[in-house]
DNA sequence: ATGGTCGGCAACCGA
């Protein structure tokens, strides 16, 4: 958060989103650069941060009705924050917005020898069971974040070569799909850009030339409830942000919702 | 088959 604050400010000035959701902020709440965002016109900030690891935040021009932080896997970590946008934001029918940072899962895709992968799978199971992530037919809900899973064949540069690589193994892809089914979530990015188009939001730092190799993955997601799905008019992946000095390995995803 | 990069923090660990 603090290292790339200027890059975030640049993105905000270019796009002027109503709401910006960040993950892996690695910033304790008492060190969060609130003033910088206030000066940019973003007065409403829902933080769930800790030192060094994880951390999520919702930065908004619009006020919230409420803020919720959900605990997963009984760990004292910061991987979820949600807000409700309603009357105070000029939104007639309230919208719940969930912002997630799903565990990366380590290197070895075997939960019996890699506790990080076991944690990732357990986290996805808990998301599937979460009552807060299951709306009624008319509920207006959005779920975004770094879900650390590229579930579809064309969400990775090579389906075949990625099958045993954490982020694209069948077990985690199936568990993410189960979260989606249980909550009746619609994958808004794929609704607008269906397969077989390649869609990536992340490129490893471990490449001599990330752009030339283009070995990306779609780890970042925008899901909506059925009641909002036909209101998504655009999805943009700001790939140019991968090419700036000291980039993040993730790039911004923007969803336009017609309310 | 292997190592390749970051960033925080001061030796490695998580991503």
* Count of other CB atoms within 10 angstroms of residue A83: 25
Whole-model pTM: value is: 0.98
For residue A108, the model assigns a pLDDT of 94
For residue A137, the model assigns a pLDDT of 86
Query: Rounded to whole angstroms, how far apart are CA atoms A257 and A236?
Result: 12
Asked whether strand B has any atom less than 7 Å from the CB of A246, the reply is yes
Query: Rounded to whole angstroms, how far apart are CA atoms A182 and A170?
Result: 18
Asked whether strand B has any atom less than 7 Å from the CB of A13, the reply is no
B14: residue with closest CA to C1': A106
B3: residue with closest CA to C1': A206
Asked whether strand B has any atom less than 7 Å from the CB of A183, the reply is no
B6: residue with closest CA to C1': A205
Nearest residue to A154 via CA among A187, A109, A119, A121:
A187
Element (H, E) at A224: strand A220-224
| Count of residues making up chain A | 259
3-state secondary structure of A87: helix
The radius of gyration computed from the CA coordinates of chain A, to the nearest angstrom, equals 17
Which bases of chain B are under 7 A from a protein CB atom?
4-9, 14-15
Cis peptide before A196 (omega within 30 of 0): yes
* Count of other CB atoms within 10 angstroms of residue A43: 13
In contact, A198 and A111? CB cutoff 8 Å: no
Nearest residue to A17 via CA among A103, A102, A142, A132:
A142
pLDDT along chain A (259 residues), means of 10: 96 98 96 97 97 96 98 95 98 97 96 95 98 93 98 97 96 98 98 98 95 96 97 98 96 96
Structural domains in chain A? 5-257 (3.60.10.10)
Nearest residue to A232 via CA among A179, A192, A184:
A192
Asked whether strand B has any atom less than 7 Å from the CB of A103, the reply is yes
Q: Which residues contact A1 (CB under 8 A, 6 or more apart)?
A: A8, A22, A25, A26, A27, A32, A33, A49, A55, A57
For residue A136, the model assigns a pLDDT of 85
């Amino acid at each position: 958060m603090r290292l790339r604050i200027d890059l975030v400010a640049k993105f905000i000035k270019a796009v002027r989103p109503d709401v910006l959701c960040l993950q892996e902020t690695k910033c304790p709440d008492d060190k969060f650069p609130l003033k910088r965002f206030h000066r940019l016109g973003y007065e409403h900030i829902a933080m769930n941060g800790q030192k060094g690891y994880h951390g999520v935040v919702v930065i908004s021009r619009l006020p919230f009705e409420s803020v919720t932080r959900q605990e997963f896997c009984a760990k004292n970590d910061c991987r979820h924050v949600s807000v409700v946008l309603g009357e105070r934001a000029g939104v007639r029918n309230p919208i719940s917005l969930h912002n997630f940072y799903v565990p990366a899962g380590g290197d070895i895709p075997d939960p019996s020898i890699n506790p990080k992968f076991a944690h990732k799978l357990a986290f996805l199971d808990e998301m599937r069971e979460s009552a807060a992530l299951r709306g009624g037919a008319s509920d207006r809900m959005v779920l975004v974040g770094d879900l650390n899973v590229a579930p579809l064949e064309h969400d990775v540069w090579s389906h075949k070569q990625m099958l045993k690589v954490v982020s694209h193994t069948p077990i985690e892809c199936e568990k993410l799909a189960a979260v989606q089914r249980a909550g009746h979530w619609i994958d808004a990015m794929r609704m607008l850009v269906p397969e077989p188009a390649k869609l990536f939001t992340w490129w490893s730092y471990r490449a001599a030339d990330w752009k030339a190799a283009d070995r990306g993955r779609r780890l970042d997601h925008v899901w909506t409830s059925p009641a909002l799905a036909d209101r998504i008019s655009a999805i943009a992946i700001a790939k140019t942000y991968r090419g700036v000095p000291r980039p993040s390995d993730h790039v911004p995803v923007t969803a336009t919702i017609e309310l």
